[in-house]
């Protein structure tokens, strides 16, 4: 499985650290696994499109160079170099967090998808459904949603539903990280899944995101997943698994979960 994310810090939160070991456990030692991310903090669809049109060396390319989960960062990278560099199995896209619930900001997505598809005829496209900010967040773009987490989440859901309708057949699937995070927030853990009000916490928040990605990409049952990062105890692990499973079943609806046995 050769995975390329075209994203920003939220794709970094989704991929970094925990996705590789979870995929390795689910797929086995013989499977080739390569997790890679074209990263610009806060990068919007419009910015990706500009980078394509002007062929800008604007990205940090965080690449797994050895099928071992060890990443090498190459700054000043171009999409025109990285996108054709491998026969990618999966390529993922997302909107920047502040615009994620504002569908008018998705207008240039077709240009980006067409550009990548013309290079990679066989890659499966997935959409990363990102998460709403913590209710206490001081992110300036939270104003777009009246500083209300529920409003932001519902706006993201509506945008993804519009996306699936307008690009019918264009995506192999969505990865409902935003719903998995919202489900986990309904648990005893509460609204404590970020490190700064919007980026996911390094252990628990990113673990939920990685579990969601691994479950979608592999189709494997995560009920008995053994891997968990240091800091994620058995209680949190149960919350994460149940939050992800509920999101896979109901990707556009919050489901209350618990970590109790």
Per-position pLDDT tens, the chain of length 261: 999 999 999 999 998 889 999 999 999 999 999 999 999 999 999 999 999 999 999 999 998 866 777 889 999 999 999 999 999 999 999 999 999 999 999 999 999 999 999 999 999 999 999 999 999 999 999 999 999 999 999 999 999 999 999 998 899 999 999 999 999 999 999 999 999 999 999 999 999 999 999 999 999 999 999 999 998 999 999 999 999 999 999 999 999 999 998
Q: How far is CA 187 from the centre of its chain?
A: 21
> Which pLDDT belongs to residue 17?
85
Q: How far apart are CA 6 and CA 49, in angstroms?
A: 11
> Which pLDDT belongs to residue 66?
67
Look at the pTM and tell me if it is higher than 0.95.
yes
Where are the domains positioned within the chain? Answer: 2-249
Using CA of residue 228, residue 245, residue 41, residue 140, what is the dihedral sign? negative
Q: How far apart are CA 78 and CA 97, in angstroms?
A: 22
Q: How far apart are CA 82 and CA 189, in angstroms?
A: 39
Domain 2-249: give its CATH code: 3.40.50.1110
Q: How far is CA 71 from CA 14, 40, 61, 188, 254, in A?
A: 15, 16, 9, 34, 34
């Amino acid at each position: 499985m050769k995975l390329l994310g075209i994203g920003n810090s939220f794709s970094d939160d989704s991929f970094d650290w925990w996705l590789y070991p979870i995929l390795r456990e689910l797929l086995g030692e013989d499977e080739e696994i390569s997790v890679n991310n074209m990263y610009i903090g806060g990068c919007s669809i419009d910015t990706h499109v500009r980078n394509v049109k002007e062929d800008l060396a604007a990205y940090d390319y965080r690449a797994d160079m050895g099928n071992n989960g060890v990443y090498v960062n190459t700054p000043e990278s171009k999409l025109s170099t990285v996108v054709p560099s491998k026969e990618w199995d999966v390529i993922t896209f997302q909107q920047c967090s502040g615009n994620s619930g504002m569908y008018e900001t998705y207008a240039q997505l077709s240009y980006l998808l067409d550009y990548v598809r013309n290079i990679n005829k066989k890659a499966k496209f997935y959409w990363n459904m990102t998460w709403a900010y913590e209710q206490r967040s001081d992110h300036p773009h939270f104003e777009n949603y009246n500083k209300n987490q529920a409003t932001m989440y519902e706006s993201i859901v509506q945008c993804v539903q519009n996306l699936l309708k307008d690009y019918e057949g264009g995506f192999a699937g969505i990865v409902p990280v935003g719903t998995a995070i919202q489900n986990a927030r309904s648990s005893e853990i509460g609204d404590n899944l970020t490190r700064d009000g919007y980026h996911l916490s390094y252990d628990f928040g990113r673990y939920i995101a990685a579990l969601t990605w691994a479950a979608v990409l592999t189709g494997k049952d995560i009920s008995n997943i053994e891997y968990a990062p240091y800091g994620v105890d058995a209680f949190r692990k149960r919350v994460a698994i149940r939050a992800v499973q509920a999101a896979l079943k109901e990707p556009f609806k919050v489901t209350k979960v618990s970590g109790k046995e």
